[in-house]
Structure 1
Amino acid sequence: MSPAPRLVVLLLVARIAASQTLSNAGRNFTVVFPENIAYYYPSDARNKIWVTALHNDTSVMVSSANSQLNAGQTKSFTVTQELGRLTINETNASDPFKVFNISDKTVHITSNKDIIVQAISSKGRSTQSVLVIPTTKLSNKYFIPPVPEIEGTTSGASPVANVTERAPFRLIIVNPNELKASVTIKGGEEISIDIESGSAAQIWVKNDNKTWYVEANKGVAVFFSHPCAVQHQCTCGLLHAMVPPAKNNTMRFPIPPVLDQPVSILRSDKETRERITFGSSSAVVESAGTAIVYWPGLLLTLVPVEEFGSCFVVQFIEGKENILIIVVNKNHQQGIHIGNDPLEGAEWQELKGTEYSSTNRSISSTTVVWHAAANMTVYQIYKQNDTWFGNPAAVISANPDFRGCVSTPEVTKILQEAESWQESIRSCKNQTLDLISLPSEALQKQTCQNLRGNDAKQVWIGTRRSSLTGDWYWLDESDFNNTNWAGSEPGDVSEGQCAVMSLEGDGDCGWKDRNCCEDARPLCYAAPQILQIN
């Protein structure tokens, strides 16, 4: 392969790979439900798993239940498995923070095509939701967040292990792998444990300023949880959030004005483990590990700028107020859509000290949120009476597209060999692609932008003159209305019956007519799949 097409293909492959890495979609998940509102609450928890299919003919297995879903369909599965109490015995009473509790009460979810998985646990007024990360995207290192200051739970007197409201926070470490995982908690005296496949371990978290972290020989999931943290008016409820993996570099976490209330940021990386109090005017925190918002009833894992996406699935919960918090660069407030509708009438609040802004919007059904030209992040927040809970919305793609929420990225590929226009059609077909048709101005601009930075001079595109009428037409039979001819192009019929797109310099990729028998590299294409929620 010559250098120019190799560069083009590598750039496009890297773009798709980056999008897939940031996506929360996958085919293998393990879900765990923590103890919710103590052992004595007089009703069972209502635990549910939501599975959203991104493609047609998706076969989903949740434990022993099998379902067939098409793209955009969401199915709810009721689950009875729940982790039990974390207790100590007399032999461990001298140092309860070393006590592990191992449980096999986890739920395994598999599918033949990519899906999104979210979980919700509800017991009385205590409700928490979490976005479940696929097994292939888990990490082997996590920084443990500091314990939030909660009157009646963590502040004042020392924790009391067997008094639920006064018990310490706990870590839940899940091994979704086929083989046993060796896990160590480091930062002080090391604590090690082996966790069998499909099991979850629980351990209490020390409330000190030391930097603690989890390290494993395989990818594991780590959750930060309390079954009955005091909230309002002496009530208590579950607090639960997924801990994000340790980062390779320090990242910036814009902080939206959550609920227009002062909040605490639980920040932890290799340098620091601290609680930071932020008001609504404070707007950014930096970390190479964990950054979690705490407000009574709410643990919200923040998303760094480097992990913003362009397309999200947000789950609607009946009987609760459903609110989206959208954070985007203040230069890209236009282009956001909720479902098929552009976001209009938004009241934007600038995040002080950053180039980002935030807005809130209520929703009334499960939907997609997407940006036509830029990346952003979306949080889904729910309110029930005076209690709030929520989590980051599920990322489908980090590749913005003017057509909608992309579940399968478009393919744009310049082939190796220069050949005639007719041979180019066949060569693209051999790769299950088509010689590209460019009927819209938006697609023309997006394609031109995607191909910048390569050394190819011109490529065949899928248009030619009709031998019968002399009119130009597209191979995919789209209307030939929006054109991008270069100056003085096209010429008359004798000058050329087919067209190339120029990729020279930093121009606008104008078209030129050419003799169909001349040689040029084919520009092959497959359109993306756009997700519509049913």
Structure 2
Amino acid sequence: MNSRSDQVMFAILLIASTLSQGLTTVSYGMDFITAFPENVAYFYPYTSRRILRVTALQNNTKVTVHSNNKQIPLSVMRSGETANVSFPKPSEVYQLGLSSNSIRITSDKDIVVHSFSQTHTGTATLPEKSVQTNVVQPITNLDTEYLIPLLNQSDLIQTFGGSPQPFWSQRYSSFKLIIINAEDTGNTVTIVKNISGSVQEEEINIPSYQLIQLQADASLYKIKSSHKVAVILTHPCLETTACKCNMIVNQILPKQFQGQNFVVPYIPGTTQSRLLMTSNDKSTSLSHNNVQLQPSPSGFLSLSDQTKSQYVSASGNVSLTLISPGLFIEVIPENMFAACYLLQFYSYTSGLKKALVIAETDSKDNVRVQNSPVRNAGWTEITGTKYSSALIPLSESITVIWHPSSKIAVYLLENTGTKNYGGPAIPINTQPDEFGCVAIPGQFEVRHEPLSWAESLAHCTGLQKHLACPTREDIQNELSREVHTTEEEAWIGLRRSLMTTEWYWQRQTPSLNSLPYPSVNYLHWADGHPSEDLRGLCASLSLNDKDEFKWKSAKCCEKKRPVCYKPPIGFYPLPFAQDFLL
């Protein structure tokens, strides 16, 4: 690099999707498609609502809703701002066959979308009757092949000690499958069934952005398509107890969301629950404490102790669904744990909203809600694992839970007064970051002109940046991958105290004044460094890959190129939402 034009910005994509590794954990994007299934919970003509909750991750975000051949722009949104978009009753998909009742949400910057379907009595004094919610996956997370859980309504009800109602029509006596064409082209969808050991296939053509609703039973086990589709498993009124029912909505996730190790969460208020395993390999088994779980004739698996979170492992990649009467929760596999989650609750009533958090035991006290560490959470260690779990009460209806140095799993849970509902929270960051939930990633810049350490610090500070601080191995590795190899060395933000002779990280920008200096727990010194005498009070980084980008102690007055780092812009949701009625 020998000119200003050769200066290079190196971006650490702290919230980048890991599609190249076959995994996708983040649920933000700029193009979404979904639908509202029919909701007749409790059989009575209660008032019902259908809401998409859209949250912007960046300022000046333009969002458009596409519904029934109409395009409705929303107001320009700020970072963290949420819009509640309500849809009329005819938006529900209530007939079998083809329909144009799909709903698309597009934007010019990253957003997340949460779907709520709810029934209530229509009065302010009585509680909600049924609430179902699911995270709407961006089209980038969708696929062309899905495994469908083998669910039979009669078996499911009998598993929990109930019996099917003799007066139920076929319309309400089975699960439904909504398949949505996610692309602007015709889509050939193949329905794969196994009937008495014989595999049968049926092809269906779905026009651009339209959908089809099918009845689903235990014979339908796979969906294949020529282009991307979204798949929703639903039931308009699944019986629970006392001749009542809850609507079920569950967006099926593609195979890249599967895993082999799971921490199955304990859901307070549920007296019984079962696991349903979905796998492409019929020989796959599930075990707990090295004991293989035996499925019931209906395929459901039970855990011996249903009063605490437990660790289970599969012999191959699977999806796990935790099922109790009226409640379906996708279990987050360990390889899908993330660092920051957005939680969006339906209710604004305090005292009913909780988060179930699973974190590494050694670092559980660093879990944070918004900017505050969680205190007195009552953590419980999960036997045989490095994890603990805690149930954290929340007051805000929209919030974030994150960890600065390790990955966690977060579920949102809410009690509407009569029933629990919930599911996985929305993952925002895949990699931990001490700055919180990241909306715009941080950036490294190697300056061309050599400066002293003090001049380098002033230079970076003047640019609203700070000297690079590889405080963890993953940051050091990312920096090493991004920089261009040279024979030179560059200053980093590590120096020695004249008072204590201890090394410390120096970060000094106006935007970081409220952050404590991180501890020097990670070291990457070259052989012979740091020098034992006090002449080398500052630290530099080798820009040569042959030297493994090792650190060296050096005199602070020496001239070296500074590595500046622009901190990422954090994302924090605003407490109130604007309402739109379509």
Q: Classify the TM-score, shorter chain.
A: 0.7 to 0.9
Cα deviation 1:310-364 (Å, max 9, x = unaligned) = 0111013224821211112223312100111111111223334433221111211
Q: Distance in 1 between matches of 2:46 and 2:225?
A: 36
Matches within 5 A, 1:73-84: 73-80=81-88, 81-84=90-93
Letter in 1 for 2:236: P
Name the SS for the 2:140 alignment partner: helix
Q: Distance in 1 between matches of 2:339 and 2:446?
A: 25
1:174 maps onto 2:180 in alignment: yes
Q: Which moved more, 1:297-306 or 1:342-351?
A: 342-351
Q: Distance in 2 between matches of 1:269 and 1:158?
A: 31
Aligned-residue RMSD, C-alpha: 4.1
Q: Distance in 1 between matches of 2:318 and 2:205?
A: 24
Matches within 5 A, 1:197-276: 197-207=208-218, 212-247=221-256, 250-259=259-268, 261-272=271-282, 274-276=299-301
Name the SS for the 2:18 alignment partner: helix
Partner of 1:359: 390
Q: Which moved more, 1:363-372 or 1:258-267?
A: 258-267
Change (3 A) 1:130 1:385: same
Q: Distance in 1 between matches of 2:406 and 2:318?
A: 25
Structure-1-length-normalised TM-score? 0.79
Partner of 1:445: 471
Name the SS for the 2:34 alignment partner: strand
Cα deviation 1:369-406 (Å, max 9, x = unaligned) = 00011001111112122311112111110121122222
Could you tell me whether the CA contact under 8 Å between 2:341 and 2:410 is conserved in 1?
Answer: yes
Q: Distance in 1 between matches of 2:344 and 2:156?
A: 29
Q: Distance in 2 between matches of 1:262 and 1:460?
A: 59
Q: Distance in 2 between matches of 1:51 and 1:110?
A: 10
Partner of 1:369: 401
Partner of 1:277: 302
Matches within 5 A, 1:508-523: 509=551, 511-513=553-555, 517=559, 522-523=562-563
Change (3 A) 1:382 1:248: closer
Deviation at 1:522, TM superposition (A): 4.7
Q: Which moved more, 1:398-407 or 1:334-343?
A: 398-407
Could you tell me whether the CA contact under 8 Å between 2:180 and 2:231 is conserved in 1?
Answer: yes
Partner of 1:4: none
Q: Distance in 2 between matches of 1:257 and 1:121?
A: 24
Q: Distance in 2 between matches of 1:51 and 1:355?
A: 35
Name the SS for the 2:365 alignment partner: coil
Matches within 5 A, 1:410-425: 410-412=442-444, 420-421=450-451
Name the SS for the 1:190 alignment partner: strand
Q: Distance in 2 between matches of 1:463 and 1:351?
A: 38
Partner of 1:392: 424
1:334 maps onto 2:365 in alignment: yes
1:37 maps onto 2:37 in alignment: no
Letter in 2 for 1:242: Q
Deviation at 1:511, TM superposition (A): 4.8
Matches within 5 A, 1:411-490: 411-412=443-444, 420-421=450-451, 436-437=466-467, 443=469, 445-446=471-472, 449-452=474-477, 454=480, 458-461=489-492, 476=509, 486-487=530-531
Deviation at 1:110, TM superposition (A): 1.0
Q: Which moved more, 1:450-459 or 1:62-71?
A: 450-459
Q: Distance in 2 between matches of 1:481 and 1:156?
A: 59
Could you tell me whether the CA contact under 8 Å between 1:434 and 1:524 is conserved in 2?
Answer: no
Partner of 2:65: 62
Could you tell me whether the CA contact under 8 Å between 1:173 and 1:202 is conserved in 2?
Answer: yes
Change (3 A) 1:474 1:23: closer
Partner of 1:85: 94
Partner of 1:123: 119
Could you tell me whether the CA contact under 8 Å between 1:247 and 1:288 is conserved in 2?
Answer: no
1:193 maps onto 2:218 in alignment: no
Q: Distance in 2 between matches of 1:68 and 1:243?
A: 31
Q: Distance in 2 between matches of 1:490 and 1:238?
A: 70
Q: Distance in 1 between matches of 2:539 and 2:313?
A: 51
Deviation at 1:251, TM superposition (A): 2.3
Partner of 1:104: 100
Where do 5+ consecutive residues of structure 1 fail to align?
2-7, 88-100, 465-472
Could you tell me whether the CA contact under 8 Å between 2:340 and 2:403 is conserved in 1?
Answer: yes
Change (3 A) 1:238 1:412: same
Letter in 2 for 1:174: I
Letter in 2 for 1:283: Y
Structure with larger RCO (C-alpha < 8 A, sep 6+): 2
Deviation at 1:220, TM superposition (A): 1.4
1:383 maps onto 2:394 in alignment: no
Partner of 2:573: 533
Letter in 2 for 1:239: I
Deviation at 1:112, TM superposition (A): 1.1
Could you tell me whether the CA contact under 8 Å between 1:47 and 1:78 is conserved in 2?
Answer: yes
Deviation at 1:158, TM superposition (A): 10
Deviation at 1:109, TM superposition (A): 0.8
1:404 corresponds, among 414, 433, 436, to 436
Could you tell me whether the CA contact under 8 Å between 2:339 and 2:408 is conserved in 1?
Answer: yes
Change (3 A) 1:516 1:304: same
Cα deviation 1:453-492 (Å, max 9, x = unaligned) = 958884234799xxxxxxxx9885778996989446764x
Letter in 1 for 2:139: T
Could you tell me whether the CA contact under 8 Å between 1:380 and 1:391 is conserved in 2?
Answer: yes
1:162 maps onto 2:169 in alignment: yes
Could you tell me whether the CA contact under 8 Å between 1:144 and 1:290 is conserved in 2?
Answer: no
Could you tell me whether the CA contact under 8 Å between 2:14 and 2:429 is conserved in 1?
Answer: no
Name the SS for the 2:302 alignment partner: strand
Q: Distance in 2 between matches of 1:265 and 1:76?
A: 33
Could you tell me whether the CA contact under 8 Å between 1:338 and 1:370 is conserved in 2?
Answer: yes
Q: Percent identity?
A: 25
Name the SS for the 1:198 alignment partner: coil
Could you tell me whether the CA contact under 8 Å between 1:159 and 1:168 is conserved in 2?
Answer: no
Deviation at 1:150, TM superposition (A): 3.6
Matches within 5 A, 1:16-31: 16-18=16-18, 21-31=24-34
Matches within 5 A, 1:114-153: 114-124=110-120, 125-147=129-151, 149-151=155-157
Cα deviation 1:16-44 (Å, max 9, x = unaligned) = 45399421110111121000016974245
Partner of 2:333: 304
Letter in 1 for 2:343: V
Name the SS for the 1:22 alignment partner: coil
The number of aligned residues is: 489
Partner of 1:92: none
Deviation at 1:503, TM superposition (A): 8.1
Letter in 2 for 1:215: K
Q: Distance in 2 between matches of 1:223 and 1:499?
A: 54
